[in-house]
Chains A and B, each alone.
Chain A
Amino acid sequence: MKRYDDPELQDIADKLTDPDPGIRRVAVLALVDSGEPEAAELLIQALKDDDAAVRQEAAKVVDEFDAEDIADSLLAALSDGDEVVRNAAAHALADLKDPNVAPPLLAALERSDDPFVVAGILRALKPLRVVAAQTPALQRLSDEDARVRREAVGVLGWLKAEENLPALIDRAKCDADPEVRRAAAGSLVYAARERVGPPLVTILGDPHWQVRCEAAIGIGKLDYQAGLESLIVASRDATWQVREKAAEAMGKLRVVAAVPALGECARDPMSNLRKAAIGALGAIAEPECRPFIELALDDPDPDVRKLARWAQSQLDNAA
């Protein structure tokens, strides 16, 4: 067995071979306090321990180590029989910021079928932004498991590549899972407004309110002027959160044609929506906005009144 120069590390190494799994478990905890780089290899050893509780303990502390030192073991741990181990490995992998670990991640992705493992690898690949992840991510967009599709959308969104738009638009419009649709809709904002504006307008009619919110946010972010009519419709949505995002988006478009709809929103019983509406009217700052803004100076909600005072000064400055 290997000997270590550091006496504390040697002590841990000895305990890691103790027949009592309880002692081995406590030894794993002590690894965290070692400043020795070789502690990582003992952690790897613990990740392969026969006892599931020891492996779990090792997996729980993997995020105390620099993941590049232990990437291979983490990948192996992704297929551990124990969910705690798999989960910890996936999370630690997701913290990898080193593009050099992309090839082993991609290789592991290729041989994995377990949805949990696949989702974990995709989550780890996302922040690396490697082009080689594009093809496998596109394939996984049609996975049966929604968690996998959601992470695949994440990988593609972060890549910000033009050629992935058709697939992302398709997921945003048609996926069975609302969270996948929401994530895909949110990813579209990296593209040109002419390209993704029309699909975002369609998505504004999604059955799930959070997806509709995401579409409204996107139209505003992209300043997609042709989306105005659909935003006006959305400003009368049954869910106030959608009305709020639509009002904010109209403020970003800064067009007078939005003023009547925003005026309606400014009388909504939900104060959060009145805030959004007055904020948008202040951003537009055209004379047509003035009556609504002046009315809001006496709003019962102080946030609305504050914004109305600000909006009034915007109008005065513009005049």
Chain B
Amino acid sequence: MPTATQRTSVPVIVDEDKCIADKGCTVCIDVCPLDVLWINPATGKAHMRYDECWYCMPCEADCPTDAVKVEIPYLLR
């Protein structure tokens, strides 16, 4: 069966100016229980790659530079 991709609005927002993933920080990526945060190879910064968020907040709470913001997913808002 062929497949298509579908756009989706994701709840975790990373402020790339504050993110220090390029200095080796992987805190948000490490703590995510669903492993949805990855380094964006284009920018070297963290981003949400999979829309599988539990809005549980360790990524935001543990980020050393306050770069991560967890919104409530649109379907739940």
Identify the A interface with B (CB < 8 A): 15, 20, 22-23, 25-26, 29, 57, 60
Contact = CB atoms under 8 A, between A and B. Distances in A.
A20 B64 contact: no
Contacts of B72: none
12 contacts: A15-B24, A20-B23, A22-B23, A25-B20, A25-B23, A25-B64, A26-B23, A26-B24, A26-B25, A29-B25, A29-B64, A60-B64
Given A23-B23, A29-B27, A29-B64, 16 more contacts: A15-B24, A20-B23, A22-B20, A23-B24, A25-B20, A25-B23, A25-B25, A25-B64, A26-B20, A26-B23, A26-B24, A26-B25, A26-B64, A29-B25, A57-B64, A60-B64
Q: Is the interface of A mostly helix, strand, loop or mixed?
A: helix
Nearest to B20: A22
Contacts of A22: 20, 23
B64 to A, nearest CB: 6
A23 B22 CA distance: 10
A136 B24 CA distance: 46
Interface residues of B, number: 6
Contacts of A60: 64
A139 to B, nearest CB: 38
Nearest to B64: A57
A57 B64 CA distance: 7
Contacts of B25: 25-26, 29
A57 B25 CA distance: 12
A29 B24 CA distance: 10
B74 to A, nearest CB: 31
Contacts of A15: 24
Nearest to B27: A29
Contacts of A23: 23-24
Nearest to B23: A22
B17 to A, nearest CB: 13
